[in-house]
Structure 1
Amino acid sequence: MDILETNRLFLRQFKPDDWEDLYEYLSLEEVVKYEPYDVKSKEECRREAFNRSKNTGFWAVCLKDNKKLIGNIYFQQQEPEDFMTWELGYVFNPQYYGEGYATEASEKMLEYGFEKLDVHRITAGCNPDNTSSWRLLERLKMRREGYFIKPIFFKRDANRQPVWQDAYQYAILKEEWFKRNK
């Protein structure tokens, strides 16, 4: 796995000892509210950091100046592989919200996908109630392609019934990315 650098960040493979920084934000309800998992305990974060260290789909986002892990990027090829479509996702520590780190890291991942991996299309989804997320996708100049009514659920209510959610779908093509960056 490559190490990617921006002005303020570097993106690298997870290491098992990243669990404490991961716990700082995955243990917060506000962070996992729109994620397909609940808040995580210290032990779950130990396992999660170990699992992510073996998974090239997760990138640790770290500050250059002190190497602190402040979030993660998910960037994974989707099936069928011949379509060369990758999915982008992100989760960040709220202590670092409002600084542009998620935008900076995501922009670098788009660049990496289109310039190094020769990806055709990058997609991202988010809950319409997650304003910060869809605004980030629009800052990246991704196109909102759809609004889906209750296509997914990540959690269940007290009666074990699915809590269905709406979803936005965003995407950008390689030629769109190159056109806007020339």
Structure 2
Amino acid sequence: MQIETERLILRPFQPEDGEGLYEYLSDAEVVRYEPYTPMSPEEAREEAGRRAKNNDFWAVCKKDGQLIGNLYFSKGDFNTWELGYVFNRKYWGNGYASESAQALLDVAFREWDVRRVVAMCDPKNTASWRLMERLGMRREGELKQNVYFFCNEEGDPIWKDTYEYGLLREEWI
């Protein structure tokens, strides 16, 4: 399946998307709040192969085919889906994340009968939680020291807080 907007195409990942994925997943600023470190070209190629086999990842491309980011949309319990996004820094501030997420949410709520969508981010990631709010999501809570991705030199977890946002189908429709 493919979803088109005025400027973008959302499509499944393909194994050959490794180079485009590397362009943004190798950027430390882009992956700053992600649970992984910047990727090498080989890691990005492997990741493209994994994502090509996983329906939870959507490649976000400009109409010319240029991969500029991705959405994550995964089904959980009780017909609740989780939304996530990562975009190439060269395209930040142009509305691409908002446009692609709106298109995916619209299809999800109108055609797939999704009941609820949640999204989470680090409270320091202002651009992310502002996007969630532009999408009409409401902040449902702030979880304190609920997750860690990395450890310090002594092997102790580096705990992070999380904002959690939610949106119901009837709020979208």
TM-score, normalised relative to structure 1 = 0.94
Give the RMSD, CA atoms, in angstroms.
0.6
Identify the residue that residue 163 of structure 1 maps to in structure 2: 158
Deviations 1:141-160 (A, max 9, x none): 10100011110011111222
CA distance in 2 between partners of 1:126 and 1:113 (Å): 21
Deviations 1:87-137 (A, max 9, x none): 000000000001000000111111111011100000000000000000000
Structure 1: 5+ residue runs without aligned partners?
none
Q: How does 1:44-123 map to 2 (within 5 A)?
A: 44-64=43-63, 66-78=64-76, 80=77, 83-123=78-118
CA distance in 2 between partners of 1:77 and 1:88 (Å): 9
**How much identity, in percent, do the aligned residues show?**
53
Match of 2:133 among 129, 132, 138: 138
Letter in 1 for 2:14: K
Identify the residue that residue 18 of structure 2 maps to in structure 1: 19
3-state SS of paired residue (1:30): coil
TM-score, normalised relative to structure 2 = 0.98
Paired positions, count: 173
3-state SS of paired residue (2:30): helix
Structure 2: 5+ residue runs without aligned partners?
none
3-state SS of paired residue (1:19): helix
Identify the residue that residue 35 of structure 1 maps to in structure 2: 34
Identify the residue that residue 173 of structure 1 maps to in structure 2: 168
Q: How does 1:144-159 map to 2 (within 5 A)?
A: 144-159=139-154
CA distance in 2 between partners of 1:100 and 1:157 (Å): 35
Letter in 2 for 1:42: P
- Runs of 4 or more, structure 1, over 4 Å off, are none
CA distance in 2 between partners of 1:137 and 1:20 (Å): 28
CA distance in 2 between partners of 1:22 and 1:72 (Å): 9
